[in-house]
Copies of this chain bind each other. A is one copy, B any other.
């Protein structure tokens, strides 16, 4: 993309992500209806622009006057969220140019995805009205835009988290909402998101280009089912990955998944192998589940890049790290990470620190024998970080065992060491903190580590996959530069 096309895109989309006014068409007083939920979601999120409920029945809802039509609204409307029967869609669109609408997001579903002729014809009619009217359609069958910075929630459930640097584009509203929910739980902070459903007008290609141009977005997650123009999308991805990492989850890979995708967003999917090959060639990182997508977005947000080679594993912070040391080594090396032996001087120093009995000191390092001594633990991790063969340290902590052995203050002190070491040198630390019976304590530690740019994962496997994904793009990007 050229600089001027980026600028144009940013301009075109500006009032869609940062609207000065929002109309909720189909807003309802009936608390069981989507139109009620949507209106409440926008109001509760703290959106500060003008909010206009629209419903031919009129009246008032949540203290706001209901306008009988879009036309009846005084002034202009930047963004419209629509939940009305599909038959009413075309005439609504006729009202948009007069109100200078920039985009209409149709939450309304029941178009081509249900497979009847009416749905197809309605979609065609809608697209042509949008093109003539000079505005964009998002959806139908979608949640539209999410912009926490501008207090626009993700969907009628009102889900909204903190503002950050991760962008996402998604063909599914449910996946969008879950990404935001996971973000709130795990500290993934989004700049913007867009759920475009059937994507009859504004689709994955426009969305990706916008995210690439957006200065507030530094990594892009994409949930895709199928597209009208696969090769154009793949070319776009290849263009975007030159600038920012694209983490792509292509669903509908199997026969059962593809059939579901057709009913979901009316998408025809194509061969999984073709997609995987093309994504890889284009420099995108392909992931295969919501968990892997969230894990990968998290590590990109926290570490930006990692071009190292050697990782070290540290475990047994309370006791009994031996089995974890063995199995974690299997997991990490099977997934493609390199675990070099520590240098002889490092090992010698570790032996004098920890002793040989009950210790594993080669890499992985089982620090069980430091149990109780914060100084020994700190020195151990410092020694490993200082070893020139090691570029990243993975630390596994088991909250249940830590709390069986130590008082809470000591568990905090152990994590203070990790946080302090993270800030005092450049090699990344990554934490594996499996769930267990002490989830409230686990969550507190996860939040603290996360704030200190130590990404936290629930299993060694998930951490290793995320590191591999980060490393792959970092090397791809470095190769582009050279």
Cβ of A252 within 8 Å of any chain B Cβ, yes or no, is: yes
Which residue of B is nearest A197, CB measured? Answer: B322
Quote the shortest CB–CB distance from A110 to chain B (angstroms): 3
Question: Within 8 Å CB of A291, what residues of B?
Answer: 434, 459, 461
Cβ of A330 within 8 Å of any chain B Cβ, yes or no, is: yes
Quote the shortest CB–CB distance from A173 to chain B (angstroms): 4
Tell me whether A259 and B362 are in contact in the complex, defined as CB-CB below 8 angstroms, given that A114-B357, A319-B157, A323-B264 are known contacts. Answer: yes
Select one of B110, B178, B405 contacting A400, CB under 8 A.
Answer: B178
- A334 close to B109 (CB less than 8 A): no
Cβ of A56 within 8 Å of any chain B Cβ, yes or no, is: no
How many angstroms between the C-alpha atoms of A358 and B32 in the bound complex?
16
Report how many copies the assembly holds: 2
* A326-342 at interface with B (beta carbon < 8 Å): 326-327, 329-334, 339
How many angstroms between the C-alpha atoms of A228 and B16 in the bound complex?
68
Quote the shortest CB–CB distance from A172 to chain B (angstroms): 3
Cβ of A290 within 8 Å of any chain B Cβ, yes or no, is: yes
Of A109, A265, A329, A363, chain B has the most CB atoms within 10 Å of the CB of: A329
Cβ of A398 within 8 Å of any chain B Cβ, yes or no, is: yes
- A264 close to B322 (CB less than 8 A): yes
Give the segment of A180-188, A277-285, A375-383 that binds chain B: A180-188
Question: Within 8 Å CB of A159, what residues of B?
Answer: 400-401, 404
Question: Within 8 Å CB of A46, what residues of B?
Answer: none
Number of interface residues of A (CB under 8 A): 95
- Mark each residue of chain A from 327 to 370: 1 if its CB lies under 8 Å from any CB of chain B, else 0: 10111111000010000000000000001111111111010000
- A326 close to B398 (CB less than 8 A): no
- B256 close to A155 (CB less than 8 A): no
- B323 close to A172 (CB less than 8 A): yes
* A96-130 at interface with B (beta carbon < 8 Å): 109-110, 114-116
Tell me whether A323 and B174 are in contact in the complex, defined as CB-CB below 8 angstroms, given that A255-B333, A257-B333, A364-B260 are known contacts. Answer: yes
- B264 close to A401 (CB less than 8 A): no
Cβ of A439 within 8 Å of any chain B Cβ, yes or no, is: yes
How many angstroms between the C-alpha atoms of A209 and B84 in the bound complex?
66
**25 sampled A-B residue pairs with Cβ under 8 A:** A110-B356, A157-B319, A158-B404, A170-B323, A171-B323, A174-B398, A174-B401, A175-B320, A177-B401, A181-B401, A181-B437, A185-B435, A225-B323, A254-B329, A255-B333, A256-B332, A260-B325, A263-B325, A263-B362, A265-B322, A289-B460, A290-B459, A291-B434, A439-B439, A439-B443
Name 15 extra pairs, CB < 8 A, besides A251-B323, A257-B326, A290-B434: A32-B372, A110-B355, A115-B356, A141-B358, A157-B405, A171-B323, A172-B323, A177-B319, A178-B400, A178-B434, A185-B435, A225-B323, A249-B327, A253-B330, A264-B366
